[in-house]
Amino acid sequence: MKRLLVFVLLFLFGVMIPIGCTADSPNTGRPGRTDTNILSIYNWSTYIDPDVITEFEQEFGVRVQYDTYESNDALLAKIQPGNPGYDIIVPTSDFVEGMAAQGLLKPLNHDNIPNLVNVDPKFLDTPFDPGNEYSVPYQWGTAGIGYDIEATGEKITSWKQMFDPKFAGQVALLEDSRAMLGVILIALGKDPNTTDPAEIQAAVDYIVDHKEVVATFAPDTGQDLLDQGEVAIAVEWSGDVFQVMEENERIRYVIPEEGTIVWTDNLAIPVGARNPEMAEKFINFVLEPEIGAKISNYVKFGSPNKAAIQQGLILEEDLNNPGIYPPEEVFNKLQYAKELGADTQLFDDAWTELKVAIGR
């Protein structure tokens, strides 16, 4: 989600219509504005079609203030001390569970979200949010391997393959402890949600034993490094790689044969939201088949909107792409990262050890 073109579009978009893009103050009492005519959204960068924001503003007579972040940790750090005024946030599955447990999310009124019926049942009533009390699925995807076919000289099909010594200094690992250690645990035949210190240590040791291949740890920018030819292989989120693939025919994406992490990013309303009623209208708006399809076709992630798929609104080339919409036999190998509570510290400590050992 980091293409330069998208940044340019979002910049122009912000100039042409009154959307604030301040990272720290979503709603600070600007003259002529009230809480009821502002909707403050905090979302991952380059994760929406700008036309969707324009359409919502025009239909509901509000102004959208749109800020972005690069990680769930950044989102949590912004909301945990006290919501500065955001009405919509987009946490990933396990963070929904954790934030709800901390009392950071406001329960949803499903009566105000009738378009929830458009969502594929397999993305509803999930273990991280039973009954969708706090969240509604927005997009979904996988952590996988993006690679430059000319640079590798071969198809990449497995996690272990990217650690081949011939790729020395050519691999970007994802700067995400749960996802990165999780996929290595999967490669080793372990549960990505293990809390066994010995198993987590085995994942760390495996990477350290192959540290010569590691060029860098990329904070969700691995697709850019691939596109620019700085690395040959990058562990990245699916849609991010597919976005650069549109402009770079050398780039490929694969869900490794061992399986991987699957996730959903979810629309939620944080406690302290200043316009929760309009937030629920926005959630319902996003769940309209045409709007849901427009977003997914733009960002190149999977749509949880079954109605959009059934109505033929998803681009056929995307729908037939197994990296975006994997077949059932592949989907069955995908695993969610679960909220581990205090045991998350095991992964944090292991990650710190790994970074020190790698020296990147």
pLDDT tens sequence across 42-76: 999 889 999 999 999 999 999 999 999 988 989 99
Buried b (16+ CB within 10 A) or exposed e, 204-216: bbbbeebeebbbb
The pLDDT assigned to 184 comes to: 98
pLDDT tens sequence across 251-305: 999 999 999 999 999 999 999 999 999 999 999 999 999 999 999 999 999 999 9
| Distant-in-sequence, close-in-space partners of 130: CB < 8 Å, separation ≥ 6 | none
Average model confidence (pLDDT) across the chain: 91
Distance of CA 161 to the CA centre of its chain: 25
- Cα 277 to Cα 56, 84, 155, distances in angstroms: 14, 17, 49
Torsion on CA atoms 228, 172, 178, 192, rounded to nearest 10: 120
Assess whether pLDDT exceeds 50 at residue 321: yes
User: Three-class SS of residue 211?
Assistant: helix
The pLDDT assigned to 35 comes to: 65
The pLDDT assigned to 70 comes to: 85
The pLDDT assigned to 255 comes to: 98
- Cα 110 to Cα 98, 238, 275, 280, 286, distances in angstroms: 21, 30, 16, 9, 14
Domains of the chain: 4-140+264-319 (3.40.190.10), 142-262+326-358 (3.40.190.10)
pLDDT tens sequence across 200-224: 999 999 999 999 999 999 988 999 9
The pLDDT assigned to 220 comes to: 82
Assess whether pLDDT exceeds 50 at residue 13: no
The pLDDT assigned to 71 comes to: 87
pLDDT tens sequence across 96-140: 999 999 999 999 999 999 999 999 999 999 989 999 999 999 999
Q: How confident is the model at residue 5 (pLDDT cuts 50, 70, 90)?
A: very low
What's the angle, vertex CA 165, arms to CA 159 and CA 166, rounded to 5?
A: 100
Assess whether pLDDT exceeds 60 at residue 307: yes
Average pLDDT for residues 138-147, to the nearest whole number? 97
Length of the chain measured in residues: 360
* 187 vs 184: CA distance, rounded Å: 5
Strands 135-148 and 171-174: unpaired
Assess whether pLDDT exceeds 50 at residue 25: no
Q: How confident is the model at residue 197 (pLDDT cuts 50, 70, 90)?
A: very high
The pLDDT assigned to 286 comes to: 98
Assess whether pLDDT exceeds 60 at residue 85: yes
| H helices, E strands: number in the chain | 15, 10
Q: How confident is the model at residue 14 (pLDDT cuts 50, 70, 90)?
A: very low
Residue pair 269/276 in contact (Cβ under 8 Å)? The answer is yes
User: Three-class SS of residue 168?
Assistant: coil
